[in-house]
Structure 1
């Protein structure tokens, strides 16, 4: 059974296993519930935390409780009509707008990369290899993250052995699995070489200066300039990116790792990509997932008022009311 348990465990992502364990612990310890439970028990549990947690958190805990009951051979108490009615009522009483990361604007990407390039050149001239590595890594991170629309965990899992790059041609990344790849079939993601803000050149420059030939693409660099053999933690990307943007003179609290993905989707939509092409390129299976990342204001093109002009007209419009 040990061998079977290994494969059964591999069938569920580590993050999912951790979150499910935390949900079960919350039900039993924090709330004081008993397992197995009934539909009425689930209703009381949800009602207790309806005004304390987001609906997405409650649904995640329901999924964990459902899995526990099914795997233990008990009826699933989360699928009763009363539970479904209660969830609907929570949405009505506690409506919540889904939070989305701001899309990274192309002009902000250009500004950040220009600053990083200048700093990298200065570090090279003074022989500061540690700083040179940091900036080359940052350039590769933001350009690959933007033009490929990768999530933070996907950037952290990129491997040199699964990456093929050719200057002036393009780059391809193979990921054994991703969030949308439920069957773990793996997928290859390709991006062409670009005239400016090129992710191919950024990748080649980074692995060259770091002397990397195998292992994770993006790694931690300690304060002494030592390069780790392990990949960066995906949770460290947000503070890393915000530090980059702040140093480049950009609003550091505006963007997160998802901003690069949403920024590319917004750029693509504004440049005439249809939704099917965008889904195929980024790897979305569900059209709702794709539409969450597209800023609809880009569809107005040249007809949209510029922010400054809109602000100037607002007092006049209000005065006419």
Structure 2
């Protein structure tokens, strides 16, 4: 028997969400997403909107027809022809997308960008409860063959270069004894030596979750990309030892920070300002790379990939490396790990075996 309802309580339709509940859902989704993720999603949807409305002359709305998703792929994916690489996006439409600032420059996007925009559209359909055209057999087969076509041309999804020990040291050498220099040194070493922390994880470090120990510090991660719910895990604590601990000591002593976020803006005149945003970590990495004269496509993620690559170089067990980085997938981390250990592989030195010295 149904429970007796309060007379003043409005009845809801169990098949739909009312406006207040829908707004609450959107609020939770926004709050639970990183600023960087939210920004990239907005940019992808802006591009989809501009492309769709220019291509079809009608308002963009979900669900997107499967044929439109296929058209999007062939408009942006390059394919080999007798006359070189070609894609189907008309030049006039491409120019208009640039004029509208939906894209930065003329030409086909990278494979990474194409796949990311499709991923965002797929996510949007799922979140709104629409049938997902990106998961149709035809679209999945087309994307599989597209990836294979790019791979055969030697074009793999782009990865930022890894900041291993040598380039990292060059960046650290640019950090002087000013407040900004001390902060940047501490930040770079904190991010790298604690397992290659992501930008969002670096800016969430506080005096309350980073405890001093006799050997250094322990940073306790309450939440991360692979632990969105913040569940307690055995490897939540990341050690910060040696040079990284000394650099952090130096920054905290010079800045006078005793509580709250550790890494903050340094204003003119040596005034400690507000906590750094995640984008500021990227800017610091790029600035120090430039000052160090490093050539290459580096980003904040280069600290993470650099840690894993360096661990591979030194033959650190994969399990120990993953306990530091927090990677949930062995497949994800193995690419960098193998790249680092490749030159140390005994199998590459079979001709150097002392027993075969006569060769």
Taking structure 1 as the reference length, the TM-score comes to 0.77
Matches of 2:345 and 2:124 in 1, distance apart? 54
**Structure 1 vs Structure 2 CA RMSD:** 2.9
SS at match of 1:228: strand
- When residues 244 and 159 of structure 1 are mapped into structure 2, their CA distance, relative to the original with a 3 A threshold, is same
Counterpart pick for 2:252 among 176, 195, 207? 207
Matches of 1:284 and 1:67 in 2, distance apart? 22
Aligned to 1:261: 304
Matches of 1:254 and 1:20 in 2, distance apart? 23
Offset at 1:150? Answer: 1.1
Counterpart pick for 1:237 among 275, 281, 284? 281
| Deviations 1:242-299 (CA, angstroms, capped at 9, x unpaired) | 433454x542656432232222222222223111221112100001221132253534
**Structure 1 regions of 5+ residues with no counterpart?**
121-130, 306-321
| Deviations 1:79-136 (CA, angstroms, capped at 9, x unpaired) | 11111122123223334223333333424444544563xx42xxxxxxxxxx2x1121
Matches of 1:71 and 1:190 in 2, distance apart? 34
Matches of 2:339 and 2:42 in 1, distance apart? 39
Matches of 1:221 and 1:181 in 2, distance apart? 31
Offset at 1:140? Answer: 0.6
Matches for 1:85-124 after TM superposition, within 5 Å: 85-95=141-151, 96-113=155-172, 116=175, 119-120=176-177
Q: Work out whether 1:158 is the aligned partner of 2:205.
A: yes
Counterpart pick for 2:320 among 273, 277, 280? 277
Q: Is the Cα contact below 8 Å between 1:171 and 1:193 reproduced in 2? A: yes
SS at match of 2:239: strand
- When residues 54 and 244 of structure 1 are mapped into structure 2, their CA distance, relative to the original with a 3 A threshold, is closer
Counterpart pick for 2:69 among 28, 38, 42? 42
**Structure 2 regions of 5+ residues with no counterpart?**
1-19, 79-107, 349-359
- When residues 203 and 136 of structure 1 are mapped into structure 2, their CA distance, relative to the original with a 3 A threshold, is same
Counterpart pick for 2:114 among 58, 62, 70? 58
More helix by share: 1
Aligned to 1:81: 137
Q: Is the Cα contact below 8 Å between 1:242 and 1:253 reproduced in 2? A: no
Q: Is the Cα contact below 8 Å between 1:178 and 1:186 reproduced in 2? A: no
Say which one has the larger Rg: 2
Aligned to 1:175: 221
Matches of 2:199 and 2:264 in 1, distance apart? 13
Aligned to 2:241: 193
Matches of 1:57 and 1:250 in 2, distance apart? 28
Aligned to 2:102: none
Q: Is the Cα contact below 8 Å between 2:309 and 2:340 reproduced in 1? A: no
Counterpart pick for 1:9 among 30, 33, 46? 30
Aligned to 2:269: 224
| Aligned length in residues | 286
Q: Is the Cα contact below 8 Å between 1:134 and 1:221 reproduced in 2? A: yes
Taking structure 2 as the reference length, the TM-score comes to 0.70
- When residues 44 and 143 of structure 1 are mapped into structure 2, their CA distance, relative to the original with a 3 A threshold, is same
The range that moved more, 254-263 or 265-274, is 254-263
